[in-house]
Amino acid sequence: MGLRFVALLAVTAATCLALLRGQPVDTSTASAQGEVHYVPRWDLQNSGVDDDLRAVQFVDSLTGWAVGSNNTILRTRDGGQSWQRLVDRRPNGPEFTDVQFTSATDGWVGARGTLLHTTNGGDSWQPANELARGVSGFGSGSSVGSTRFQTSLVHVYRSDDGGRTWTALPGQLAHNDYEVTFFTDSSHGWLARRGRGGLALTVDGGTTWQEVQQNLYCCGRSKIQFVNPSTGWTFGQDAATILSTADGGQTWTGQFTGVRASSSLQDMVFLNEVVGYVLINSDSGIVVMTADGGATWQEIGRLGASSNVRGISFPDSEHGWVVGDKGFVIHYHLVPVYDEEESAPSDEGGE
């Protein structure tokens, strides 16, 4: 294995670690035979479908799923170079808007009135049973390990057996229109709804729920994510604002993303307390990134989508994907650029 290839691996790991810690990144290094720079790049990928893709999730740099209209569930095992349709296309079939995998094998996809679970990475799917007698649909959901939480009307339900049976959590909700559910563990969970009084939280596994008065984004998708029981983010009351909390959702602080308020926030993902990404449906798609917990944001991509962008996934700080309408998929990654006199490294030959 050539020395330059070894240097490439070492710098890639160092770059990832620095980003995860929110530290400045030195994007060049000197190898035994020259200097290499790392440049972020977005590359279009061929999903093989024309259906609108609404959500995406990767569990590592190779394995991911994308879901959307007409009963579309796709999987890739080679970083998006090729995609496989896992279920038959059905015109006017379910429009999946949610995909959540907690491992390479255990995952859920959801649409209005449909919730599917897999234990083999999507090779086969099992429909979930109804939440309770007389309750139609599944609302929003969140997965923690092998446990699934679903919110419908004024109750949150829990399943530990892949959706075969559901138990209503003891606490009753004050509202019946929560759009987003997120749990970090079996005790700590949050619900989001649009408008004033848009949050509810539990610290006792749903035995009780506390309402938090907070304006949320009024004109698009709601979104909430916590990386631990204390630290989390949600969409603000306009597209220029992300809200952050450091006390479990009791109080929230606005963070300016740098985009126009008239744009549409679509999705976000945080890797930890400092590194996060937000997808904005404006100017054919924009991605902004923070490396300091949202105190500052920088644009890392204008995607050139011909229609709406919908979902984003970053399994780590060096690989990311965005999906959108008409089968749109685009891949973010770091590529090495060498001095003019140097050629790309080879893993063949000696030193």
- In the block, tokens 């296309």 appear at 89
Which domain covers residue 246, as residue numbers?
Answer: 3-338
Quick check: is 68 in a domain?
Answer: yes
- Please spell the DSSP secondary structure of 217-282, one letter per residue: -SSS---EEESSSS-EEEE-SSTTEEEEESSTTSS-EEEE-SS-TTSEEEEEEESSSS-EEEEEES
Quick check: is 7 in a domain?
Answer: yes
What is the structure's pLDDT at 221? 66
Quick check: is 345 in a domain?
Answer: no
Question: Which CATH number goes with the domain that contains 325?
Answer: 2.130.10.10
pLDDT per residue as tens, the chain (351 positions) = 333 333 333 344 444 444 444 444 444 555 554 688 889 999 999 999 999 999 999 999 999 999 999 999 999 999 999 999 999 999 999 999 999 999 999 999 999 899 999 999 999 999 999 999 989 889 999 999 999 999 999 999 999 999 999 999 999 999 998 999 999 999 999 999 877 668 999 999 999 999 998 877 655 567 899 999 999 999 988 778 999 999 999 999 999 998 887 888 999 999 999 999 999 988 889 999 999 999 999 999 999 999 999 999 999 999 999 999 999 999 999 998 887 654 444 444 433
Quick check: is 155 in a domain?
Answer: yes
Quick check: is 351 in a domain?
Answer: no
Quick check: is 346 in a domain?
Answer: no
Quick check: is 343 in a domain?
Answer: no
Prediction pTM value:
0.86
Cα–Cα distance list, 200 to 81, 158, 252, 296 (Å): 41, 17, 13, 27
Quick check: is 61 in a domain?
Answer: yes
Sheet of strand 232-235, all strands in order from the earlier edge strand to the far edge: 224-226, 232-235, 241-245, 253-256
Tell me how many domains the chain contains: 1
